[in-house]
Structure 1
Amino acid sequence: MIYLSQGEHMRKSTVIRQLAAAGMASLALALSTSSIASAETVRAGVWQKDGHDFTIRTSASVSASKIATIKDPDTRVPCGGERCTRNNNGGNYTCWSGGPSDNDWLKVHWAGRTGWVAAMCVEAGRI
């Protein structure tokens, strides 16, 4: 059996307490980072439908100003949460010649701005 002097015992218990505190801090950081990552992965968004470009507008109308036209098929545009906010009473649109038409719009966020996309002209889901 090994006996420690009073000073050695105090140093050993201080080191153990410091290691325990560091471990708990690391665990808390890992858990908070994990929660943030989880929240970010459950996000809705939109992307091209059938390879067709789509336009983000300032309001739910084809006459509203354009914020951007998305031409890259790999671009995902976030809605801002788990679901996209809908406006099913917006202006009427036709997606492309012979394509779908409706008046249903989805709220999105692009380049620091809030905009609207024609719902039938995009695919939507988790991004």
Structure 2
Amino acid sequence: MVTFGIVSAMGAAATTAGAAAADRAGVWAVEGHSFTIRAAASTSSAKLTTIGDSRAKVACTHTPCVRNDNGGSYTCWHGGPSDNDWLKVVWGNRSGWVAAACVEGGRI
């Protein structure tokens, strides 16, 4: 689960246009649970993709990750965490939003 400390740690160093991928903040699956990237910070927003590969890492649009802590409410999985905090990520040539409590985050 992304906690305030982990999200804060994602911003320890700024990213420049030429920075290596290892200098970027990003997110990945929690305990093998899939996560969904949506067009906006809401579960009613269009689904861009669902990431089911537990090894996949998705970069945030910026380092530190842009947050929307007043997005739509969600529950990650049955019996899992719920919140309204979202992180802005890049998928292909688009940006989208991931439910923050449904992923882990840090440097990728």
TM-superposed CA distance for 1:41, in Å, is 2.2
Length, aligned pairs only: 93
Opposite residue 59 of structure 1, the aligned amino acid is A
| Counterpart-to-counterpart distance in 1, 2:22 and 2:90 | 16
Q: Which runs of 4+ in 1 moved over 3 A?
A: 35-40
TM-superposed CA distance for 1:81, in Å, is 2.9
| Counterpart-to-counterpart distance in 2, 1:106 and 1:38 | 20
TM-superposed CA distance for 1:50, in Å, is 1.1
Partner of 1:111: 92
Taking every aligned residue pair, what percent have the same amino acid on both sides?
59
2:61/2:95 contact within 8 Å kept: no
Extract unaligned runs of 5+ from structure 1.
Answer: 1-34
2:24/2:60 contact within 8 Å kept: yes
Partner of 2:51: 70
Extract unaligned runs of 5+ from structure 2.
Answer: 1-15
| TM-score of the pair, normalised by structure 1 | 0.69
Partner of 2:70: 89
| Counterpart-to-counterpart distance in 2, 1:40 and 1:77 | 11
Alpha-carbon distance change, 112 to 100 in structure 1, aligned in 2, over 3 angstroms: same
Alpha-carbon distance change, 102 to 38 in structure 1, aligned in 2, over 3 angstroms: same
TM-superposed CA distance for 1:36, in Å, is 7.5
CA offsets, 1:21-79, max 9 Å, x none? xxxxxxxxxxxxxx987543210000001110000000000000000000101100000
| Counterpart-to-counterpart distance in 1, 2:99 and 2:26 | 13
Larger radius of gyration: 1
1:46/1:125 contact within 8 Å kept: yes
| TM-score of the pair, normalised by structure 2 | 0.80
Higher helix share: 1
Aligned-residue RMSD, C-alpha = 1.6
Match of 1:107, SS state, is: strand
